[in-house]
Every structure is written in C-alpha cells, then in structure tokens.
C-alpha cells in the first residue's frame, strides 16, 4: 500500500481497518481544485486490500475528470469498502454506520453517494450519521434517498440524440435501432425513453426474463447476451459492465455509434483509437453517464425543482456535442477531446487558486 500511495498523483488517502467486519475502508481524494471531492461508495470483495485501494485511486481520478468535463464545482474522490466476504443484516449496517461517521468526521473534505455494491437505502442509513451523503431528498433527516438510475438514463438519452446527429446525420431517433445491453437501473429507463422517441429498441441481459419483460414493455426485441457484439444496430448502448470495448469485441461490432452508461467501457485507452479507426463514434462514458452524479450534485446545491434537474441533466447532450465536434475538427478520438476539455477546465481552476 505504501508504494501505491507514494506513486499516486492524488492529494489524500484515508485508510481505516474496520475490525468488527474485517473491512478495509479507503477514501481517495484525488483533486480538490474545483471543489469538495465527491464520489460514490463502492462495496466489493477484492483479492487483496491493495486492489481496493488501487480501485479507489483510479475511480477518484476518474471523478476529477468527470466533474471537470461537466464544469461542475466538485473535485474527484471515491470510497471503497473492501469487504472480506458478503456482509448482511446488522453486520453490514454496522459497517455502513461506522463508515458514515468516518466520512462525517472529515468535516466536508469528501462527500459520497451510491455506487457499485451500495444502494439508495444504504445511503439513507448513512445519512443518519453523516452530513455528506449525496442524493438525499433535502429533508436532512435521511428520510428519502434518490435513485440515480433515471437521471443517468436521461443523460445517456440526451447524449444519444446528439451522437446520432454526428454519427448518423439524423435529427431524431425515429427508426434508429438501439441495442441496450443490461436491463437494469439505467438500461430500463433508457429503453423507455428511446422507445418514446420512436427508436427500435433491442434488449440484451444475462437475465433473459428481465430482457424479455423490458422488451415487451417497450415494444422491442430481445437478443441473447452472447450475441450482442454481432447484432446489427445503429447504436450500441452498453449499460451493464465495463471493459466490453476491447480488441476482441471491437472488430465484431456492427454499429455506427457506441453510447451507454457503463463505467470504464474501454478495456484500455487504445480501444478509443480502435473504435475511431473503425469509424465507430464513441460517446466517452464518463461524460454521457454523468446524469446521476450531476443530479445529486445539483440537489446538494439545493436545486429542488425536478424540471431544472432534468434540464441540467439533458445539457449533458450539449457537453457531448462540443466534445464530438472538437474530436471531428481535430481528427482525434472523442476520448482525447473529452480529456482536453477537462484538463482545460482544471487548469483554469488551478490558475485562479490563491
């Protein structure tokens, strides 16, 4: 762990071993140039605690770029609870409450929210002991915790409309075939929005029943989870797992656009170039999937109007529009264009620091 911390470019790492549950708790604060570091709380089993720390560091760095690209006044941070095995009931609750007190004791140096392995209900519990939990209703008593999925889906939808304009030359999604991989918290509301916009929705999920019921609901089709990459469509919307864009899958893709919510879609940065070389337009994941984070950030800034929240999330489409236009103008992958935008906003923040 020492080597990891010494070689990291971030600002601060908080490490706690939670003896009652045998959990290593990591909070990585990567960059506070633009404001308080904010990032989700992930609960996962890792082969070794160091892997959890590494994950926290990488994810915190990703959050720095996500907030910067949105030009939102938050910094990059992430929490990882590296549990020794599945935790349930009182044991899990105890861990969450002790962790909530740890975050609270930082006095606003970090705020957290839902992520892989945690639920809005977990956040509701943590909010009892911690003032820095995102996505609460605003009542201040932990009475309601919002689900980020529908906001994330709205951002992906807005981004897909823009990507279709750049990649297909279409002004709307009518008749556009969109394959949604993963019929979960984001994939399901996304499929509904797509269908309402007149797209032809195709659904794939490792859980066949879930795929079938969503497809039935939106009047779409189902494709087997292992046939996704060979299936012809206009837009492939990965909304399940990461690393699905790699040297093995990219040559098989039969789409013109990839635009979805999954985090870390590229197995490696080179895969952005592979997509670009194949003429497939890729909407950088950390831009297009920022709707949930953005909505929670706005709620934290006391924005309470649902219509304002939705409008601001829809503006993810405008951000993506700039990025795609700048990528085309420079003849480079959208990943580089997104990164340039984030770097420019960060360096403006750095020069205006006292």
**What span, in angstroms and rounded, lies between the C-alpha atoms of 180 and 183?**
7
Instruction: Check: CB of residue 18 under 8 Å from CB of residue 79.
Output: no
Q: Where are the alpha helices (DSSP H) in the chain?
A: 2-7, 49-69, 89-105, 120-126, 149-168, 187-196, 208-218, 270-277, 285-288, 291-300, 306-314, 316-330, 334-351
Q: Residue 71: exposed, middle, or buried by beta-carbon count in 10 A (0-12, 13-18, 19+)?
A: middle
Residue 258 binding ligand NAD, by CB under 6 A = no
Binding mask 105-144 for ligand NAD (x = CB under 6 A): -----------x----------------------------
**Binding segment toward ligand NAD, per CB under 6 A, in 78-86, 193-201, 236-244, 271-279:** 236-244
Residue 183 binding ligand NAD, by CB under 6 A = yes
**What span, in angstroms and rounded, lies between the C-alpha atoms of 38 and 110?**
6
**148-177: contacts with ligand NAD (CB under 6 A):** 148-149, 152
**12-41: contacts with ligand NAD (CB under 6 A):** none
Q: Which of 212, 254, 218, 220 is nearest to 235 (CA)?
A: 254
Of the two residues 207 and 343, which places its CB atom closer to ligand NAD in the complex? Answer: 207
**What span, in angstroms and rounded, lies between the C-alpha atoms of 140 and 158?**
31
Instruction: Check: CB of residue 203 under 8 Å from CB of residue 191.
Output: yes
Of the two residues 35 and 184, which places its CB atom closer to ligand NAD in the complex? Answer: 184
Q: Which residues contact 20 (CB under 8 A, 6 or more apart)?
A: 91, 94, 95, 98
DSSP assignment, residue 256?
Answer: S
Q: How many residues bind ligand NAD (CB under 6 A)?
A: 26
- The nearest distance, CB 243 to ligand NAD, in angstroms, is 10
For residue 282, list its beta bridge partners.
258
Of the two residues 94 and 117, which places its CB atom closer to ligand NAD in the complex? Answer: 117
Whole-number Cα distances in Å, 132 to 78, 244, 305: 13, 33, 21
Considering the candidates 66, 78, 170, 348, report the single residue annotated as catalytic.
Answer: 78
CA 58, 112, 193, 338: dihedral to nearest 10 degrees?
-40
Binding mask 70-109 for ligand NAD (x = CB under 6 A): ----------------------------------------
Q: Which of 33, 145, 289, 333 binds ligand NAD (CB under 6 A)?
A: 289
Of the two residues 227 and 277, which places its CB atom closer to ligand NAD in the complex? Answer: 227
The conformational region for residue 206 under phi > 0 = left, psi -120 to 50 = alpha, else beta, is: alpha
Residue 225 binding ligand NAD, by CB under 6 A = yes
Residue 224 binding ligand NAD, by CB under 6 A = no
Q: Which of 239, 255, 280, 281 binds ligand NAD (CB under 6 A)?
A: 239
Q: Which of 124, 160, 249, 261 binds ligand NAD (CB under 6 A)?
A: 261
Of the two residues 21 and 136, which places its CB atom closer to ligand NAD in the complex? Answer: 136
**Annotation marks residue 348 as catalytic:** no
Residue 263 binding ligand NAD, by CB under 6 A = yes
For residue 129, list its beta bridge partners.
none
Residue 206 binding ligand NAD, by CB under 6 A = yes
Active-site residue set: 78
Contact footprint for ligand NAD (CB under 6 A): 116, 148-149, 152, 181-187, 204-207, 210, 225, 239-242, 261-263, 289, 292
């Amino acid at each position: 762990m020492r080597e990891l911390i010494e070689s990291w470019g971030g600002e601060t790492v908080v490490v706690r071993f939670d003896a009652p549950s045998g959990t290593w708790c990591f909070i990585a604060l990567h960059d506070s140039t633009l404001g308080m570091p904010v990032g989700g709380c992930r609960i996962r089993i890792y082969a070794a605690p160091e892997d959890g720390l590494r994950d926290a560091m990488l994810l915190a760095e990703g959050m720095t770029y996500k907030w910067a690209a949105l030009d939102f006044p938050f910094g990059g941070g992430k929490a990882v609870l590296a549990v020794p095995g599945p935790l349930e009931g009182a044991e899990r609750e105890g861990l969450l409450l002790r962790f909530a007190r740890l975050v609270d004791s930082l006095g606003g140096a970090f705020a957290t929210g839902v992520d892989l392995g945690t639920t809005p209900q977990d956040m509701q519990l943590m909010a009892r002991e911690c003032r820095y939990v995102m996505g609460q209703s605003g009542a201040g008593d932990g009475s309601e915790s919002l689900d980020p999925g529908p906001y994330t889906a709205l951002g992906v939808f807005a981004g897909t409309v823009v990507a279709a304009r750049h990649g297909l030359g279409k002004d709307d999604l009518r008749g556009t075939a969109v394959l949604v991989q993963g019929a979960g918290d984001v994939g399901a509301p996304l499929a509904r929005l797509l269908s309402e916009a007149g797209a032809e929705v195709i659904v794939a999920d490792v859980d066949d029943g879930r795929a079938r019921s969503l497809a039935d609901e939106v009047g779409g089709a189902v494709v087997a989870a292992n046939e996704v990459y060979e299936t012809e469509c206009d837009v492939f919307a990965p909304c399940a797992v990461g690393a699905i864009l790699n040297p093995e899958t990219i040559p098989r893709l039969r789409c013109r656009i990839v635009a979805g919510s999954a985090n870390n879609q590229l197995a490696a940065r080179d895969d952005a170039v592979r997509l670009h070389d194949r003429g497939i337009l890729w909407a950088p994941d950390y831009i297009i999937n920022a709707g949930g984070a953005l909505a929670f950030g706005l709620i934290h800034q006391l924005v309470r109007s649902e219509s304002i929240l939705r409008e601001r999330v829809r503006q993810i489409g405008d951000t993506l529009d700039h990025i795609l236009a700048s990528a085309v103008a420079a003849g480079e992958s959208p990943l580089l264009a997104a990164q340039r935008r984030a770097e420019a906003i960060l360096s403006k923040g750095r020069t205006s620091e006292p």
